[in-house]
Amino acid sequence: MKIHAFRIGFVGAIGVLLALLLGGIVGQLGTVILYVALALFLALGLDPVVSWLQRHDVPRWLAILLVFVVVIGVFVALIATIVPIVVEQTTRIIDDWDSIVEGVQNSDFVAWIASIGGEGLSLDAAIDSAVDWLGDPANLGALTGGILAVGAGIAGGLTGAVIVLILMLYFLASLEAMKRYAARFVPASHRTQFRSVAEEVTGSVGRYVIGQVSLASINGILSLVFLSIIGAPFPILLAFIAFLASLVPLVGTLTGAIIITLVCLTASPATAIAAGIYYLIYMQVEAYVLSPRIMNRAVAVPGALVVIAAVAGGTLGGVLGALVAIPVAASLIIIVEKVIFPRQDAI
């Protein structure tokens, strides 16, 4: 048999180039793929609500419309609540900048730091250096560019949220058709098992999403109440941060607690200590009381796998990637338990 070395090498090189091209395309479309995945998981999370309305004699189209209106209302309410607060607090900081600087200079915390640093630490020199740095046109340009980048990021985030909401509506409306179409890729002899596993995966992921949103809402509401009681700065904004962070299981609640505690430090050390103690207690209550009761119908994801999935998803796609990674891990666990393990046991 004659071996055509050139042909084999040429075909192999073409295959490598095609693989690199596909990898580049996937990399360029990473954000779009992430939007699609997030919209799909949100649709799966809202589908149990739509199904519940259908069981109470509400047509599916009307149930989808009602759920979508509620989601849009919550989204608009959050934006209408948070944006004015951010603008107000930013304006207040700019107007009271001189008094803020004077208060920091005369605070007990700065005096304690100065006593530790001794003669080598000069706050006035540090302030003068900061003023000189801001006075440099090059540094000011870099700072302005950074602010513009942040603004562009916020605008991009809002655009992405709108895209996800639109995709979610389409997925929610065509979820049953998508399941039927996906089943046609499976041989007819395995379609019954495929539909059973698909229903369990979508149902479990939906319950997981609803459960996680419920836990995040509880954390946000309780944070708002407690932070308002202890006099924390910007309690509504900090409660919103607690809500968003809690959407990522385990690591999200801890990360939000650290951020909020550090922000409370700007008010007073006592406020920060109170916030830290509160979140230490809350995390225990969430782990041993709230989470088992709310998530008991969703698939159980081991804690180590949750951390690994959250870190991997965050590395690949930021916060959205971390949110999507946990339901993906839950889906893989169901597939392994319902498909792979039974096949191994039958051998």
What residue type is 59 in one-letter code? P
Residues 6+ positions from 331 with CB-CB distance below 8 Å: 201, 204, 205
Better-predicted residue by pLDDT, 329 or 221? 221
Specify the DSSP class assigned to residue 189.
G
Instruction: Examine the pLDDT at 76 and tell me if it is beyond 90.
Output: no
Q: State the chain's mean pLDDT as an integer.
A: 75
pLDDT value at 199 more than 50: yes
Q: What is the DSSP string of 83-140?
A: HHHHHHHHHHHHHTHHHHHHHHHTSHHHHHHHHHHGGG--HHHHHHHHHHHHHSHHHH
Domain that holds residue 201: 191-347
Question: What single letter denotes the amino acid at residue 203?
Answer: G
| Residue 78 forms part of a structural domain | no
Q: Place 232 in a pLDDT band, splitting at 50, 70 and 90.
A: confident
Q: Is residue 48 part of a domain?
A: no
pLDDT reported for residue 282: 92
Cα(48)–Cα(70) distance, rounded to whole angstroms? 15
How far is residue 51 from each of residues 57, 164, 201, 310, 311, measured CA to CA in Å? 10, 21, 16, 29, 33
Rounded CA separation 302/220 (Å): 25
Total-model pTM? 0.66
175-194 pLDDT, tens digit each: 888 888 888 888 887 788 78
Domain membership flag for residue 7: no
Give the pLDDT of residue 225: 92
How many other CB atoms are there within 10 angstroms of residue 20's CB atom? Answer: 10
In a domain, 340, yes or no: yes
User: How many angstroms separate the CA atoms of 272 and 263, rounded?
Assistant: 8
Q: What is the mean pLDDT of residues 243-259?
A: 83
Res 160: pLDDT: 75
Q: What is the mean pLDDT of residues 249-264?
A: 84
CA distance 33 to 317: 10
Report the pLDDT averaged over residues 104-127: 56
Residue 196 inside a domain? The answer is yes
Taking 80 as the threshold, does the pLDDT of residue 272 lie above it?
Answer: yes
Q: Is 215:309 a contact under the CB 8 Å cutoff?
A: no
The type of residue at 326 is I
Taking 60 as the threshold, does the pLDDT of residue 144 lie above it? no
Residue 145 pLDDT > 70: no
Q: How many domains does the chain have?
A: 1
224-238, 240-254, 319-333: range with lowest mean pLDDT: 319-333
Distance CA 337, CA 328 (A): 14
Average pLDDT of the segment spanning 189-218? 80
Percent over 90 (pLDDT), the chain:
6
Q: Percent of the chain at pLDDT above 70?
A: 69
User: What is the Cα 154 distance to its own chain's centre?
Assistant: 15
Distance between CA 35 and CA 58 in Å, rounded?
29
- Average pLDDT, integer, range 112-126: 55
- CA distance linking residue 341 with residue 333, whole number of Å: 11
With respect to residue 273, please indicate whether it lies within any of the assigned structural domains.
Answer: yes
* The pair of three-digit structure tokens given for residue 188, joined into one six-digit string: 């007819």
In the block, tokens 């192999």 appear at 12
97 domain residue, yes or no = no
Amino acid at 94: I
What pLDDT does 146 receive?
A: 47
Instruction: Confirm whether 338 is domain-assigned.
Output: yes
Over residues 77-112, the pLDDT tens digits come to: 777 776 677 677 667 666 666 666 666 556 555 566
Looking at residue 324, its amino acid is V
Q: What would the pLDDT profile of 46-66 be if each residue is shown by its tens digit?
A: 888 888 888 888 888 888 888
**What pLDDT is attached to residue 248?**
75
How many angstroms separate the CA atoms of 289 and 306, rounded? Answer: 18
Q: Is pLDDT of 35 > 70?
A: yes
